[in-house]
Amino acid sequence: MSKKVNEQSKHDQLEQYRVEDEGKTMTTNQGVKVSEDEFSLKAGERGPTLMEDFHFREKMTHFDHERIPERIVHARGFAAHGEFELYESMERYTKAKFLQDTSVKTPVFVRFSTVAGSRGSAETVRDARGFATKFYTEEGNYDLVGNNIPVFFIQDAIKFPDLVHALKPEPHNEMPQAASAHDTFWDFIANNQESAHMVMWAMSDRAIPRSLRMMEGFGVHTFRFVNAEGKAHFVKFHWKPVLGTHSLVWDEAQKINGKDPDFHRRDLWESIENGDYPEYEFGVQLLPEEDEFKFDFDILDPTKLWPEEDVPVKIIGKLTLNRNVDNVFAETEQAAFHPGHVVPGIDFSNDPLLQGRLFSYTDTQLIRLGGPNFHELPINRPVCPFHNNQRDGYGRHTINRGPVSYHKNSLASNTPRPASEAEGGYVHYQEKVEGRKVRTRSDSFKDHFSQATLFWNSMTKPEKDHIKQAFSFELGKVKSKDVRQQVVDMFANVSMELAEAVAVAINATKPSGSGSSVTKSSPALSQENTVKKPATRKVGVIISNDFQGKEVASVLKSLKAEGILPELISAKLGKVKGSGGVELEVDHTFLTCDSVLFDALYVVGGKNVDNKFDRETTYFVEEAYDHFKPIGATHDGKQWLEKLEISGAPGVVLGDEADQFVTGFVDAVSAHRHWNREEI
């Protein structure tokens, strides 16, 4: 009896994996319907097979692996589930169904990551961040695999191994971890000058985001939207954080790496658990095909962006992250993203970096996830059914019925069969391609500096100062004087002001010449022009016994009403007691937290604090002040600000009347940083 029960339970357990292929329409493993299974995609009827033929590569690779690690890049990642809602139909531009109906909410899975470090590295290092989104659509999975920087270091994917080898810890001593401040990276930059624009972003505040909730995302490459009539538009993708784009300062970022190496993932996890769901608006830049050559840069060059003032970003939807993962390994680590996972209505351009990624990602998942069946892992399975003749291999979950596993056939009435375009079969955009098979690059890709200068011109003075400091720090760690000089000379092509300042800092020879003649700027590139809100900002409240009970409780209540998150810091855990019988629970001690872990400080203090409390409070306030953070104080707390002679400084708010203090302090917190302190 027991055996029968066990056999029945196993049968039920496996039932969800049993698939009947007979009579079904053929799809890829991502659930996208296949329109042709006889001929590979070629450059002309007699031309070579193209690398972007994702159906051919998936089919052949799966066959190659039918007989049955940590990521090399983007190893340190964290993810969450959510949903995407559309503001307006994109039917005019694309036939992708999830971009048609505003009443449909599409489930998504988003993984954020650093690029350079290993899985165990810290999170607030200076680095680009991955921003990969998997849309589980009714037509199959669509992966938008991007970064928080809209451009990249190289123009052709064949150089990607070289870039990563140069960026990673140097092989002779495996140092430094998760850092670009070393000889091989900067030697690569100096000798591969197409990287100039990306390096400007990497040396800016964009490379040390305050939070994963407060950084932009970009598709990086130029893609195509194709509508039902077959008309195409070039498109670039954007994620705009609703909370605005904000960053850490470098000293703060380094200290956080020691105080809390999980800072970014903790922030994301806690925000979702608290119901403060991260939100990003989805935007597209659209170009008619006939406008491809109207700019002074090549729109297919991945080291170039499309200035938003020239090609506006059209906001078409919103992504909301509302559920944390249940298991980091099963979901976050086993998630397999691929820019080649597209749905009808979204197609590729001839960006040579994108073309290489279309091959590389499948190859990577095969080794990392142990074989060709990574699409069957729960986190990667499409929500629509998939049917094809792929069989066996490591990690196979599907239990295929019947003897037929090939096309064409008569035993199963020639099924699964390819779908017509009218049935939703994926049909590649019929771009005319002619030319010799060559290993070269278009002359239109040879301008490496004009957009790097555009970025520099778009920065405010504090942002420029931070870029100078970043170059000076990074190159100050480079041992080769020759490499240091090469980099200084290289960036004289971007800005003579920048190059001369860095030369002085690292004892290099000032470059000759007149620098760049580019005067154009793009205000959209400066974080000074971002959204500024107080919501979800963490405020450390330094408090001791005998505080002004009623007044402080009123301030804390008002801050919470603004969406600010106050957390109480004192000498020990437990309750602190104020006047009027008010008692508050302490969240942290001076030992278990640090000023760098908060966006602002509110100093309450109390009567008769001891010397240790005084020293710790002084340290917290001084560090927050040096990091340009808002600082507020009421009643007994004012003494520390007055002692440090900062009570009249920008972003420092004092007051005993609760309503007036809250108004001023909330405004100060909304500003995020108060850079004008440098002028005092």
Would you name the residues annotated as active-site residues?
74, 147
Instruction: Tell me which residue has tokens 């059209």.
Output: 314
Beta strands 538-543; 565-570: pairing state: parallel
**Edge-to-edge strands, sheet with 631-633:** 588-589, 565-570, 538-543, 600-605, 631-633, 652-654
The phi and psi torsions of 487 (rounded to 5 degrees) equal -70, -45
How big is the CA angle at 379 (ends 374 and 127), to the nearest 5 degrees?
90
Cβ atoms 147, 220 nearer than 8 A: yes
Q: Where are the beta strands (DSSP E) in 268-401?
A: 279-288, 314-324, 346-348, 399-400
Would you state the structure tokens that stand for residue 11, as one six-digit string? 């049968």
Q: How far apart are CA 259 and CA 362, in angstroms?
A: 37
- Whole-Å CA distances, 147 to 215, 305, 522: 10, 13, 20
What angle (nearest 5°) sits at the alpha carbon of residue 370, between those of residues 68 and 396?
60
Place of tokens 């959510």: 82
Q: List 400's β-bridge partners, or say none.
A: 19
Q: Across-strand partners of 288?
A: 233
User: DSSP states of 180-203 as a string?
Assistant: --SHHHHHHHHH-GGGHHHHHHHT
Query: Do 547 and 617 meet the contact criterion of CB atoms below 8 Å apart?
Result: no
Q: Which of 533, 525, 603 is nearest to 570 (CA)?
A: 603
> Alpha-carbon torsion 664, 670, 671, 674, what sign?
positive
Decide if 225 contacts 92 (C-beta within 8 A): no
Residue type, 398: T
The beta strand positions in 273-367, using DSSP E, are 279-288, 314-324, 346-348
| Beta-ladder partners of 133 | 110, 144
The CA-atom distances, in angstroms, between 292 and each of 103, 166, 289, 347 are 33, 34, 5, 16
Residue 646's closest CA among 596, 680, 610, 612? 680
For 631, the token pair is 């600082």
d(CA 443, CA 298): 9
Q: Which residues have C-beta within 8 Å of that of residue 312, sequence separation ≥ 6? A: 285
